[in-house]
Structure formats: C-alpha cells, structure tokens
Amino acid sequence: MAGEFRLADIGEGLTEAEIVRWLVQVGDEVAVDQPVVEVETAKSVVELPSPFAGTVLHLGAPDGGVLEVGELVAVVGAAGETWPPSASDDTARPIVGSLSEDAQHLTPVAAPVQVAASQVQAVPLVRKLANDLGVELGGLRGSGPQGRITRADVEAAAGSLSSDGGGAAPADAERRPLSAMRRTIARSLSRAWSEIPMVSAFDDVDVSRLLSARKALAEHYGRAVPLDALLVAAVLPALREFPEFNATLEGDTLLLHRRHDIGLAVDTPDGLMVAVIADASALTLHGLAEEVVRLGTGARARTLSAAELTGQTFTVSNIGAVGGSGHGTPLVPPGTTGILSLGRAVDKPVVRDGRIEIAPMMPVSLSYDHRVIDGGTGRRFLAMLSGLLCEPVRLLA
C-alpha cells in the first residue's frame, strides 16, 4: 500500500514551504531517510527525507511550487503501483435503466458549493492572502487535504480576477512573488510596527581605542577578530546592568531572561536573517569571535538550524558592515524589548581638550519598547554602552 509523505512542521512554526528542487523523480527507488526534496522555509533551506522505502509514485508540487503543512509532498509505494488508486466500484454508478455488464458508468462530479467564510477550511496565512488579493474564499473549491483551500487556489483565483480587468498589472510592471523568507520578514516587521510602541536614541562614539584594540587582538590571535564580536561583548555588561533590555513582555508581566541569547543581523543574498549566539555571556571573546564567523557563514549558506535562527533576547545589527555610515531606526523584533544598530566608523572632527582633532566616530542607534523602558533608562543604557565602546580595556579586563 502506498505511503503518503505529508509536510510536517519541522520546528520553526512552519506554515508552508517552497520547493527548491526535487532530488528524485517519479519512478525512482528511494530508501527510508533518503533526502527526496530541497525546500525553502521561512528561515532556511533544508532537505526532507522520505519516511518510506519503495518507488516514487507521485510528487506533490513542481519546482517553485508552495506546499502548506499537511499537504502531500510525495507518495512512495511498490513498483508497478499506480497513483492515485483506481476508482472502486463504490464510486461509480450505472445509468438508470441499464442492467448490462458493459453499462456506461459515470463518476460523480461535485459542484462548487458556496459556504460561509467562517466555514472555509484555510490556514490564517491563506485567509490573509485572500483578503489582500480581494478573493472571496467562500466561492473557491479547495485542492488541499479534506478540501482545504491552499495558497495556490487563492493565487489562481486572483489571477482570474486580474485577467477579467480587476487589478491587472500595468504593461511596464513586473509581478514578482515574494520568497518564503521575504514573506516571513514582511509579516514580522508588520507585526513589530503595529504592536510595539518603540522609540530610538542616538549617539556618536569615538572608537579610536576600540579599533586599536581590535588590531592588537588580531596580532595576538593570528587572525582578524570580527568587529561584531567586540560589539556583542560591549552589549553584555549593559544588558546585565539594565535587564529590561533582555526581556519579553507577556501581557502585564515582564519576563526577564537570565541568559543572553544575542541575535546577530546578517545580510544574505536572500534577505536579512538573524542568527542567534546562544548564551553569549558564557563565551570568551575568542569564543564570541568564532561563533560570529560560524553563524554568519551558515546564515549566508542557509544551513543554520531553526534553533540557531530563533529565540534571541536582544539583537545587534551592524549596518556598517554593508556600508551604512549613519544612524537608523531599527524595529524591535517581536518577543524582545530592544535592538542596537551600529554604523560604519567615519573620520570626523571632534573637540579634545579645546583642540579640534580627527577621530573615527561610529553612529549608534538604540530602539526599545517604550511600554517597559522609559527614556531615562534608555539614555543610561546607551551611555554605558558608549563608554564601553570608547574604553574597550574595560571589556578585556
């Protein structure tokens, strides 16, 4: 009997996955746990193994297709078996009045049924898509399991509306579907913007000594030390002094995290990803440097696990790494209360002991959830952090 391999939640709140490429084709023999397809989820690109051994009878979607949790990925059965199975006698009925053995049989065809929107079987993501595209779910026949309406059903209906003149793209415009990762980024940022009343504070920090210390460390270790490692090291004492920045607001309760799981924003070809340095306070500076390199490489290759891409308690975004030389207003990620953005250090005139000198000044931007952190606390956090960046010997002592 053929085995149905359906898409399961692989541990990151998965609602859908996009087929990157199939590693097998219909007719191929597969073993248990053999990778059969490469999919892109909201966070990573992973290979899905077959739970069955046998012959591939069916593939659930073409390359580039989108499957939702619970939908059919593939069917594996015995050689010579067909899919879908042939209709049984119970699903066919002879024409009334015919008693001969070769009587014509008709397969019943279900007509589309109009149902109330509340009765439609569709996940919240599909409902939102339908609302955004102006598609009435009640008028659709679902192609998913148990008649569930899928993303593809909604997009097909939206395409029909466009072809009828209801919202077609201009002749000089291109419709470009968002990737699974970009859709997740969009949802997360929309939630941050609508749910968190955040404010931002700014500073410019003289990082002359920080850059000198980095050079000395490179000579000591025999290799360059990522600036991000020093930035994370500077954040940790401030988080211990002001635990409100390492917290999660749950209703009327503020959950203060004991561990410092620092999210590190990484610019990748597919979009911004946040890799997480787990329990950063337990690492030495050398350990932080190694973890920054490892996570950055894994994020760009899309090989990090879900655990390495979720659960940050505070986020550091070094926009200077991509050429950003000014202040920004980073959005606080949902589930946290603060985020730090640092730009590229640029030589600027500064006044020291009544004299004008040139020094590398780094723009620092701090955004935080104003529901739990007042302006005074925000300024004190930023002042402490700026002091640590100015005097890095305090980090190394």
Judgement on whether residues 286 and 351 belong to the same structural domain of the protein = yes
CA 176, chain centre distance (Å): 19
Judgement on whether residues 256 and 310 belong to the same structural domain of the protein = yes
The 10s digit of each residue's pLDDT in 210-243 is 999 999 999 988 889 999 999 999 999 999 999 9
Q: Does the residue 143 lie in any domain? A: yes
Residues 116 and 118: their CA atoms lie apart, in Å, by 5
Kindly give the residue spans of alpha helices, DSSP state H, lying in the chain: 124-133, 151-163, 180-195, 208-221, 227-241, 285-301, 375-390, 393-396
pLDDT band (50, 70, 90) for residue 292 = very high
The 10s digit of each residue's pLDDT in 80-109 is 888 876 544 343 333 333 333 333 433 444
Judgement on whether residues 351 and 238 belong to the same structural domain of the protein = yes
CATH number of the domain that 58 lies in?
2.40.50.100
For 341, the enclosing helix (H) or strand (E) is strand 338-342
Which residue is associated with the tokens 């600027």? 348
CATH number of the domain that 126 lies in?
4.10.320.10
Residues 6 and 48: their CA atoms lie apart, in Å, by 11
Of 244 and 303, more confident:
244
Average pLDDT, the chain: 83
Q: Are 98 and 106 in contact (CB under 8 A)?
A: no
pLDDT band (50, 70, 90) for residue 20 = confident
Judgement on whether residues 148 and 245 belong to the same structural domain of the protein = no
Judgement on whether residues 246 and 375 belong to the same structural domain of the protein = yes
Number of domain units in the chain:
3
Q: Does the residue 193 lie in any domain? A: no
Judgement on whether residues 13 and 76 belong to the same structural domain of the protein = yes
Judgement on whether residues 162 and 205 belong to the same structural domain of the protein = no
Judgement on whether residues 295 and 387 belong to the same structural domain of the protein = yes
Residue 58 falls in the annotated catalytic set: no
Judgement on whether residues 15 and 127 belong to the same structural domain of the protein = no
Judgement on whether residues 164 and 204 belong to the same structural domain of the protein = no
Which of 372, 315, 369, 363 is closest to 342 using CA atoms?
A: 363
Of 26, 60, 84, the domain-final residue: 84
Judgement on whether residues 132 and 227 belong to the same structural domain of the protein = no
Catalytic residue among 220, 286, 327, 370: 370
Q: Does the residue 313 lie in any domain? A: yes
Q: Does the residue 108 lie in any domain? A: no
Which residue is associated with the tokens 């059965």? 77
Sheet containing 16-22: order of strands: 45-49, 35-40, 16-22, 66-68
Amino acid at the residue 109:
V
Q: Does the residue 315 lie in any domain? A: yes
Residue 267 corresponds to which tokens in the numbers above? 């610019």
